[in-house]
Chains A and B, each alone.
Chain A
Amino acid sequence: MGRKITIEPVTRVEGHGKVTIRLDDAGKVTQSRFHVVEFRGFERFVQGRPYWEAPVLVQRLCGICPVSHHLAAAKAMDVIVGAGPGKLTATAEKMRRLMHYGQMLQSHALHFFYLSSPDFLLGMDADPAVRNIIGVAALNKDLAVQGVLLRKFGQEIILATAGKKIHGTGAVPGGINKNLSPEERDRFLKGAAPLNIDQMIEWSRAAVELFKDYHRKNKDMVDGFAEFPSNHLSLVRKDGALDFYHGVLRAVDAEGRKVLDDVDYQNYLEVIGEETRSWSYMKFPYLRSLGKTDGWYRVGPLARLNTCDYIPSPLAQKEFEVYKAYTDGKPNNMSLHTHWARLIELLHSAEVIKELLLDKDLQGAKLVKKGKKVAEGVGLIEAPRGTLFHHYRINDDDQITMANLIVSTTNNNEPMNRAVHWVAMNALSEKPEITEGMLNRVEVAIRAYDPCLSCATHAVGRMPLEVTLVDARGNVLQRKVR
Chain B
Amino acid sequence: MNDIRFTIDGKECLGKPGQTIVEAAKANGVYIPVLCHFEGLKPVGSCRICTVRVGGRFMAACTQPLIEGMAVENTAPDLEDMRKSLIEMLFVEGNHLCPSCEKSGNCELQALAYRYQLMAPRFPYLWPRRDIDASAPLLMLDGNRCIQCLRCVRACRAKDGRKVFAAVDRSHRVKIEVDKKLAAHLSEDQARRAMDICPVGAILRKETGFAVPIGRRKFDRAPIGSDVEKGTGR
Which residues of A are interface residues toward B (Cβ below 8 A)? 48-50, 52-53, 55-57, 60, 81, 162-164, 167-170, 172-173, 177-178, 368, 397-399
Most buried by A among B102, B207, B210: B210
- Chain B residues in 8 Å Cβ range of A168: 214
- Kindly identify which residue among A81, A170, A399 contacts B134, using a CB–CB cutoff of 8 Å: A399
Interface string of B129-144 (1 = CB under 8 A from A): 0001011000010000
Beyond A52-B209, A163-B214, 14 additional contacts (C-beta under 8 Å) are A49-B100, A50-B140, A52-B102, A52-B207, A53-B100, A53-B209, A57-B99, A163-B215, A172-B209, A178-B213, A397-B134, A398-B134, A399-B132, A399-B134
Given A50-B204, A163-B215, A399-B134, answer yes or no on A60-B100 (Cβ-Cβ < 8 Å).
Answer: yes
B208 — nearest CB in chain A belongs to which residue? A52
B220 — nearest CB in chain A belongs to which residue? A163
- Chain A residues in 8 Å Cβ range of B140: 50, 397-398
Inter-chain residue pair count (beta carbon < 8 A): 58
- Chain B residues in 8 Å Cβ range of A397: 134-135, 140
Shortest CB distance A56–B (Å): 5
Determine whether B206 belongs to the interface, using a CB cutoff of 8 Å to chain A: yes
- Chain A residues in 8 Å Cβ range of B135: 397
**How many angstroms between the C-alpha atoms of A144 and B132 in the bound complex?**
49
For the residues of A in contact with B, the DSSP-based class is loop
Shortest CB distance B1–A (Å): 49
Report, nearest first, the 10 A-B pairs whose CB atoms are least far apart. A163-B214, A57-B100, A397-B134, A178-B213, A169-B210, A177-B213, A52-B209, A163-B213, A172-B210, A56-B100
Given A50-B140, A177-B211, answer yes or no on A60-B132 (Cβ-Cβ < 8 Å).
Answer: no
Residue contact B100 to A170, C-beta cutoff 8 Å: no
**How many angstroms between the C-alpha atoms of A58 and B148 in the bound complex?**
28
Residue contact B134 to A52, C-beta cutoff 8 Å: no
**How many angstroms between the C-alpha atoms of A49 and B145 in the bound complex?**
13
- Chain B residues in 8 Å Cβ range of A177: 210-213
- Chain A residues in 8 Å Cβ range of B210: 52, 55-56, 169, 172, 177
A396 — nearest CB in chain B belongs to which residue? B135
B214 — nearest CB in chain A belongs to which residue? A163
B201 — nearest CB in chain A belongs to which residue? A53
Shortest CB distance A396–B (Å): 9
What are 15 A-B contacts defined by CB distance under 8 Å? Answer: A50-B206, A52-B102, A52-B206, A52-B207, A52-B208, A53-B100, A53-B209, A56-B210, A169-B214, A173-B207, A177-B213, A178-B213, A398-B206, A399-B132, A399-B134
Residue contact B204 to A167, C-beta cutoff 8 Å: no
Shortest CB distance A398–B (Å): 6
